[in-house]
Structure 1
Amino acid sequence: MSNFPTDPPEPDVFEVSLFGPGKGESIVVHLGARRWIVVDSCRDQRTGEVAALRYLQGIGVDLATEVLTVVATHAHDDHFAGIADVVEKCTEATVVTSQALFNREFLALVEIDHQIAGVTSTSAYREYRRIFSIVEQRKNAITGKRPHRRAEEGKVLLGLPSSGAAPAVTVTALSPSEHAVTRAQTVLAKEQLVALGERTRRPTYDPNEASIALWLRAGGVNVLLGADILSGPLGCGWGAVLHSFTPESPATLYKVAHHGSSTSHHEGIWEKLLDDRPVVLLAPFRHGNVNLPKDTDVDYFLGYTDEAWTTSPRQPTSSGSFQKQAAKLGTLARNPRDPYGVVGHLRARIPLVGGTWQVANFAPASRLAVPRGRSAR
Structure 2
Amino acid sequence: MSGIPKTPPASNEIEVTLFGPGKGESILVHVGDGDWLCIDSALSERQSIPLAYLRQLGIPLDKVKLIVATHWHRDHVEGLAELLHCCPSAQFVCSAALRAAEFKQIVARFSSQDVGGATPPLSEIRKCFEILAGRKKASLVGYVPPIFAGANRLIASYKSSNGPIVIQALSPSDEDYLRALEAFAGYFVPLDQSATGLPSVDPNHASVVLAVAIGGELLLFGADLEVTSSVHTGWRAVLASKVRPQQPSLFFKVSHHGSSNARHPAVWTDMLVPDCFAAVTEYSGSAIPNEEQVNWLVGQSSNVYATGLPQRTHVRRRPEIEKTIREATKDFAAYRLPTAAGMVRMRRVVGSGPTWTVESFNGAMRLV
TM-score range, shorter chain: 0.7 to 0.9
Deviation at 1:19, TM superposition (A): 0.3
Deviation at 1:107, TM superposition (A): 2.1
Q: Percent identity?
A: 34
One-letter identity of the residue aligned with 1:318: T
Cross-structure match for 1:127? 124
Between the aligned partners of 1:354 and 1:323, the Cα distance in structure 2 is 59
Between the aligned partners of 2:345 and 2:81, the Cα distance in structure 1 is 24
CA-to-aligned-CA distance 1:6-42 (integer Å, 9 cap, x gap): 1100001111000012441000000000110100011
CA-to-aligned-CA distance 1:143-165 (integer Å, 9 cap, x gap): 9x852110100001111212x3x
Query: When the two structures are aligned, how many residues end up with a matched partner?
Result: 342
Matched, 1:223 2:219: yes
Cross-structure match for 1:89? 86
Give secondary structure in 2 for the equivalent of 1:210.
coil
One-letter identity of the residue aligned with 1:94: Q
Cross-structure match for 1:301? 297
Give secondary structure in 1 for the equivalent of 2:245.
coil
Cross-structure match for 1:184? 180
One-letter identity of the residue aligned with 2:177: V
Matches within 5 A, 1:344-355: 344-355=342-353
Cross-structure match for 1:321? 316
**TM-score using structure 2 length:** 0.86
CA-to-aligned-CA distance 1:181-216 (integer Å, 9 cap, x gap): 111222333444x243489xx997326221111101
Does the CA contact (< 8 Å) of 2:41 and 2:50 recur in 1?
A: yes
Between the aligned partners of 1:343 and 1:298, the Cα distance in structure 2 is 19
Cross-structure match for 2:97? 100
Cross-structure match for 1:334? none
Could you say if the C-alpha distance between residues 174 and 196 of structure 1 is closer, same or farther in structure 2, counting changes exceeding 3 Å? same
Moved more, 51-60 or 205-214: 205-214
Cross-structure match for 2:359? 360
Does the CA contact (< 8 Å) of 1:224 and 1:254 recur in 2?
A: yes
Does the CA contact (< 8 Å) of 1:228 and 1:257 recur in 2?
A: yes
Matches within 5 A, 1:1-377: 3-44=3-44, 47-63=45-61, 65-112=62-109, 114=111, 121-139=118-136, 147-162=145-160, 164=161, 166-192=162-188, 194-197=189-192, 205-206=201-202, 208-234=204-230, 235-245=232-242, 246-287=244-285, 290-315=286-311, 317-321=312-316, 340-355=338-353, 356-369=355-368
* Unmatched tracts of structure 1, length 5 or more: 325-337, 370-377
Deviation at 1:323, TM superposition (A): 11
Could you say if the C-alpha distance between residues 322 and 3 of structure 1 is closer, same or farther in structure 2, counting changes exceeding 3 Å? farther
Does the CA contact (< 8 Å) of 1:75 and 1:207 recur in 2?
A: no
Between the aligned partners of 2:318 and 2:240, the Cα distance in structure 1 is 45
Could you say if the C-alpha distance between residues 249 and 89 of structure 1 is closer, same or farther in structure 2, counting changes exceeding 3 Å? same
Deviation at 1:140, TM superposition (A): 6.2
Between the aligned partners of 1:76 and 1:204, the Cα distance in structure 2 is 7
Deviation at 1:104, TM superposition (A): 2.0
Cross-structure match for 2:329? none
Between the aligned partners of 1:206 and 1:341, the Cα distance in structure 2 is 29
Does the CA contact (< 8 Å) of 1:23 and 1:341 recur in 2?
A: no
One-letter identity of the residue aligned with 2:64: V
